[in-house]
Structure 1
Amino acid sequence: MQDYIRKRVLDISNYIMDTKATVRQAAAVFGVSKSTVHKDMTERLPMINKKLAQKIREILEFNKAERHLRGGEATRKKYQEMVE
């Protein structure tokens, strides 16, 4: 693995640990695609640091389980703003 990829993987994983960010939020902050963040966290990070990878996996699973709530809230806000 090239050094810049290893650094990106660790930077993104530290960001997600600190902020509990979603894949989409992390991708926006680091200027990469959601696919890149997902691949970094699920395939590359376990090769670098297994313990950190497990913690990140738990955060991503929590975000995935909660995403339907976020989507519903965004839709509610959208239509509420249209009425006002």
Structure 2
Amino acid sequence: MKGYIEERAVDIAKYIIEYNATVRQTAKQFGISKSTVHKDVTERLVQINPSLASQARVVLDLNKSERHIRGGLATKEKYLQKQQHCQVKY
């Protein structure tokens, strides 16, 4: 494996652990795709640093289990904003 890919995988895992970040947030931060983040953490990092991969996996699993809640909150916020905009308009 190329050195920069290994280094990126380690940096990604550290970022996820430090900021409790989602795959989407991490991908945006590093300017890469969500699938690359996922592959770096679940496949590449396991070979490089299994302990770090395990720690990152805990955060990713937690985020995955909570995503339906965040999605519902985002939808609720969207419609509250829409409702407030309509009330101000009329």
Structure 2 counterpart of 1:5: 5
* Alpha-carbon displacement from aligned partner over 1:40-74 (angstroms, at most 9, x marks no partner): 00000000011111111111000000000000000
Residue ranges of structure 2 left out of the alignment (5+ in a row): 85-90
Structure 2 counterpart of 1:19: 19
Residue ranges of structure 1 left out of the alignment (5+ in a row): none
What is the rounded CA distance, in whole Å, between the counterparts of 1:10 and 1:58 in structure 2? 15
Task: Write the mapping of 1:3-82 to structure 2, written as runs, cut at 5 A.
Answer: 3-82=3-82
So what's the TM-score if we normalise by structure 1? Answer: 0.98
Deviation at 1:17, TM superposition (A): 1.0
In structure 2, give the amino acid aligned to 1:67.
R
In structure 2, give the amino acid aligned to 1:71.
G
What is the rounded CA distance, in whole Å, between the counterparts of 1:77 and 1:14 in structure 2? 30
Provide runs of 4+ in structure 1 moved above 3 Å. none
The alignment covers a number of residue pairs equal to 84
What is the rounded CA distance, in whole Å, between the counterparts of 2:58 and 2:14 in structure 1? 14
What is the rounded CA distance, in whole Å, between the counterparts of 2:54 and 2:10 in structure 1? 14
What is the rounded CA distance, in whole Å, between the counterparts of 1:55 and 1:10 in structure 2? 11
